[in-house]
Chain A
């Protein structure tokens, strides 16, 4: 079966712009989470959605937002990009709260 698909794989944006990243979970998975990974901070939890509702949110500014659609696909948006937002953004999906998460390969965002 298809894994978690993230698009695009690579993105270059300019400071001040906004960006939208997309994630398609494994079929049947209703939970989608987003993470930011940087060399300095490691993997940091952004937020999680289940059935179109945000269930949990990490410690990130309001410039970072997301949503989930009725087909479980999710998008995250970062507005007013800063150089420090350059990172690998990872999406993960899960079937249940007690199970493991399957991660996508990520979107590498570079802000110049």
Chain B
């Protein structure tokens, strides 16, 4: 069963920032926080991942709480192409692909 909790859906306006939350209260010290997104009719796409410090890449930023029990994926300027299901997943560095996907958050972007 999934070890993360995400809202079922969120809405955003185009060109505005989006903050997608994820709770993972049972996270262990060796769990990396991964985010993937899935566009319609496509396989999931890697977005970002991190362990303790906040991370930035060309797609998004990942803000990790100090106690690591929650994190937030930040899309700085949402576009219509960002409409997708976003998955927050914990992956233990010591285990081979123990990535259990939950239901994710369906993001709708309004023009």
Contact (A100, B49) CB under 8 Å given A42-B103, A43-B101, A90-B44: yes
Contact in complex: B34, A100 (CB < 8 Å): yes
- Nearest-neighbour CB distance to chain B for A72, whole angstroms, equals 15
Alpha-carbon gap, A48 to B45, bound state (A): 18
Contact in complex: A102, B32 (CB < 8 Å): no
Alpha-carbon gap, A34 to B102, bound state (A): 16
- Nearest-neighbour CB distance to chain B for A58, whole angstroms, equals 9
Contact in complex: A56, B98 (CB < 8 Å): yes
Alpha-carbon gap, A4 to B104, bound state (A): 23
Alpha-carbon gap, A61 to B36, bound state (A): 27
Chain B residues 93-108 with CB under 8 Å of chain A are 93-104
Alpha-carbon gap, A56 to B91, bound state (A): 13
- Nearest-neighbour CB distance to chain A for B36, whole angstroms, equals 8
Chain A: interface size category? 20 to 34
- Nearest-neighbour CB distance to chain B for A30, whole angstroms, equals 11
Chain A residues 33-56 with CB under 8 Å of chain B are 33, 35, 42-45, 48, 50, 55-56
Alpha-carbon gap, A31 to B100, bound state (A): 17
A97 sits at the interface (CB 8 A): yes
Interface string of B31-44 (1 = CB under 8 A from A): 01010100000111
Chain B: interface size category? 20 to 34
A105 sits at the interface (CB 8 A): yes
Residues of B within 8 A of A45 (CB): 97-101
Q: Among A42, A44, A92, A105, point to the contact of B42 (Cβ < 8 A).
A: A105
Chain B residues 66-85 with CB under 8 Å of chain A are none
Q: Among B44, B87, B96, point to the contact of A97 (Cβ < 8 A).
A: B96
Q: Among A42, A92, A104, point to the contact of B102 (Cβ < 8 A).
A: A42
Residues of B within 8 A of A100 (CB): 34, 36, 46, 48-49
Interface on A for B, CB 8 Å cutoff? 4, 31, 33, 35, 42-45, 48, 50, 55-56, 90, 92, 94, 97-106
